[in-house]
Structure 1
């Protein structure tokens, strides 16, 4: 189901313009890592999944998307798992840790919501990375964010940064803080770089 849906989306989205992918070689050769991407609209989620094919992404998604039988089934088929953003519980870390231990790729949007403004990043991605001893690959997307943008044929671009690994020589708290600073710095640099593409 995942491959069918993603390759179908690739075909449909390509009708509005092909995506330009930069520095995909930064993705680790082995799986078991987090992709942390900027989030400006629902389209970036789709293009991110297409950009890393044939790798599958397991998205952390808001629990509201799992409230109906149809969307719950769809989300599960697309390898998404729910998180309560207002009241995060143990499963917020437990599920992605298990996925990472199995060598899978977890997709997280650290802004926590769709926004075109620079907002403080949430620490979920780095907390999970530190807990699972897994690297984070920052990614920045620039392009259409909604149906209107698609029909205006705004060109989509995505760029991948260099992996950020936990520093086991530091305490867990210090390592998470260091990863957070690096993630913010790379996000800022990648967004500036992709804007010039």
Structure 2
């Protein structure tokens, strides 16, 4: 068993032990093909819940490069396929690494808002999601995590159907286009979040 598979099994055990953990829509994660998962981000626990929810494929997540300053943490993050990124100005090599991870069969994990939004509500989506979906020729799966993150309370991970960006392949999109299309995905995430919060 690989380190990644071992780690995700441990995380799933954690999620089920300390929360009322529920996953809806597992079947919407295909076993193959280019896929990006896009998820809301309100807690540092979100990556744990995502890794627990998706067990049929390995995820390569994007995280801020500051997390890699600690050598022990950097070692673990590298083993878990986490790709460091400068959120203010991603360099070309980072973008190539991200696109390569999609090509190599990993599911790319992105938080469209770019950072945690701790207060109620949501932020604005960044255009990076669209850039990677179009350049990586990947469908985007919107995922909503619904929780108050308190121990032994409910955590619902709602996985919606993949959204195709095929009509934009090969087209030159503006920054505004990228942000608008990414925001459309975030609106799906928001809608599912509010529906399943009731």
Counterpart Cα distance in 1 of 2:81 and 2:37: 15
Q: TM-score, normalised by structure 2?
A: 0.88
Go from structure 1 to structure 2 and tell me whether the alpha carbon gap of 1:45 and 1:122 turns closer, same or farther (over 3 Å shift).
same
**CA RMSD across the alignment:** 2.0
**Offset, 1:144:** 4.2
**Offset, 1:168:** 3.1
Aligned residue number for residue 193 of structure 1: 195
**Offset, 1:18:** 3.6
Aligned residue number for residue 143 of structure 1: 147
User: What residue ranges of structure 1 are gaps of 5+ in the alignment?
Assistant: none
Aligned residue number for residue 128 of structure 1: 132
**Offset, 1:182:** 3.0
Go from structure 1 to structure 2 and tell me whether the alpha carbon gap of 1:129 and 1:169 turns closer, same or farther (over 3 Å shift).
closer
User: Contact 1:32 / 1:99 at 8 angstroms: preserved in 2?
Assistant: no
Q: TM-score, normalised by structure 1?
A: 0.88
Counterpart Cα distance in 1 of 2:148 and 2:136: 33
Go from structure 1 to structure 2 and tell me whether the alpha carbon gap of 1:75 and 1:164 turns closer, same or farther (over 3 Å shift).
same
**Offset, 1:10:** 1.5
User: Contact 1:63 / 1:82 at 8 angstroms: preserved in 2?
Assistant: yes
User: Contact 1:43 / 1:144 at 8 angstroms: preserved in 2?
Assistant: no
Counterpart Cα distance in 2 of 1:144 and 1:106: 25
Aligned residue number for residue 84 of structure 2: 82
Residue 26 of structure 2 is aligned to residue 24 of structure 1 = yes
**Offset, 1:82:** 0.3
| Aligned residue pairs, count | 191
